[in-house]
Structure 1
Amino acid sequence: MKLYFTPFACSLAARIALEEAGLDAEFVQVPKDLRLPDGRDFTEISPMGYVPAIETGTGFVLTEGPAVLTYIAELAPEGALSFTGFSDAHYRMLAWLNFISTELHKAVYMPILGKGYSEGEQVAARARHARPFAVLSRHLEGRDYLDDRFTVADAYLVAVLNWSEFSKVPLADWPVLAAYRERVRARPAVARAMAAEWPLLKAA
């Protein structure tokens, strides 16, 4: 299986999930011009040009972060990254994946860090952080993770919260979330994934 990634983009969550699950993968960095080492344009794999994307040896291709994370969770040893299907916890995890994708990734951070957004759009996006941060802060008060153990939703959330300083979103004003991020970063698999991508980010 190949994971197509950009250093410290949302694809970091997929790398974290693979590390946590002990799954083997080939990591293919997507360059800025989207021209892959094998000569293909990345849009042949991910039509929107977004990471993460996975490609299996049988030719199966999957894009969209929550879907990729759910797929990895299904491949992981039972219980390593998710909960059994048709359980309340399983569907709570799916809800958190979608919450992170829509309320944080796309609504707050993407207009700030992405290309083609005006200064006004960036200011508006930065102001939108308060409501989802308040929801997360209330939920995480007294909890180590989004549910009773680490899942792919936590991998996604820590990857997104990593962007706070770059985007000037004031994570320090939310001590529950700041503590959560530090706690999750301390997990060995998360630390390994971040260490693998940090030099690539600096070199980009």
Structure 2
Amino acid sequence: MKLYFRPFACSLAARIALEEAELDAEYVAVPPGGRLADGRHFTALSPMGYVPAIETPGGFVLTEGPAVLAYIAGLAPEGVLAPPHFSDAHYRMLAWLNFIATELHKGVFAPLMAGDAGKDARAAGRARAVRPFELLSAHLATREHLEGGFSVADAYLLAVLNWSEHAGIALGEWPVLHRWREALRRRPSVARAMAREWPLLKAA
């Protein structure tokens, strides 16, 4: 199994999940131009050019972050990366994955980090952060994780919140989220994943 990634992109969540579940994978960094070492262009695997993408030895390719994370959770022993299947908690975890993808990743951070984002677009992006950040702060004020124990939803949220400073969001203004992020960064699987990608990010 291969995980195609870019350092500290949302694909970090997939690396964290693989680390947490102790699943074997080959990690393939996608270069800025998208041309892979085997000669293929990354868009042959991920038509939109987005990471993460998972490729199995049998040729099955899966893209879209929440789907990739759900796939990895399915490979892990039950309870390691997701609540038990068909439980209420499992479906709430899936709801969190979609919340992070739409309300935070695409709704807030993508506009803020776009290279062509003007002053008005950045102001609108920061304004859109208020409601989901308030919701998350209220939810995590008395919880260590989004739903039950650690799950792929927590990994995704951590990957996204890592962008806060780069995107111009002062996470310190949201003390619950700041504390949650710092605590999760100390989790061994998270620390290992970030340590492996940090040198790649610095070298990019």
The question of a shared fold, defined as TM-score above 0.5 by the shorter chain, is answered with yes
* 1:119 Cα offset (Å): 3.0
- Give the secondary-structure state (helix, strand or coil) at the position aligned to 1:165: helix
Aligned equivalent of 2:44? 44
Structure 1: give runs of 5+ residues left out of the alignment: none
State the alpha-carbon separation in 2 of the partners of residues 100 and 116 from structure 1.
23
State the one-letter code of the partner of 1:67: A
1:113-192 → structure 2 map (5 Å cutoff): 113-192=113-192
State the one-letter code of the partner of 1:165: E
1:29-108 → structure 2 map (5 Å cutoff): 29-108=29-108
State the alpha-carbon separation in 1 of the partners of residues 170 and 147 from structure 2.
24
- Give the secondary-structure state (helix, strand or coil) at the position aligned to 1:3: strand
Q: RMSD across aligned C-alpha pairs, in angstroms?
A: 0.8
The range that moved more, 114-123 or 7-16, is: 114-123
Q: Please say if residues 137 and 176 of structure 2, whose CA atoms lie closer than 8 Å, have aligned partners that are also in contact.
A: yes
State the alpha-carbon separation in 1 of the partners of residues 112 and 29 from structure 2.
23
Structure 2: give runs of 5+ residues left out of the alignment: none
State the alpha-carbon separation in 2 of the partners of residues 44 and 114 from structure 1.
24
State the alpha-carbon separation in 2 of the partners of residues 181 and 148 from structure 1.
17
Moved over 4 A (4+): none
Cα deviation code 1:181-204 (max 9, x no counterpart): 011111000000000000000000
State the alpha-carbon separation in 2 of the partners of residues 4 and 111 from structure 1.
23
Percentage of matched positions with identical amino acids: 68
* 1:36 Cα offset (Å): 0.6
State the one-letter code of the partner of 1:94: L
Cα deviation code 1:53-99 (max 9, x no counterpart): 00000000000000000000000111100012211000000000000
* 1:150 Cα offset (Å): 0.3
State the one-letter code of the partner of 1:171: L
Aligned equivalent of 2:24? 24
TM-score with structure 1 length normalisation? 0.98
State the alpha-carbon separation in 2 of the partners of residues 126 and 47 from structure 1.
29
State the alpha-carbon separation in 1 of the partners of residues 123 and 44 from structure 2.
34
State the alpha-carbon separation in 2 of the partners of residues 181 and 175 from structure 1.
10
State the alpha-carbon separation in 2 of the partners of residues 114 and 64 from structure 1.
19
* 1:15 Cα offset (Å): 0.2
State the alpha-carbon separation in 1 of the partners of residues 188 and 171 from structure 2.
23
State the one-letter code of the partner of 1:39: G
* 1:47 Cα offset (Å): 0.3
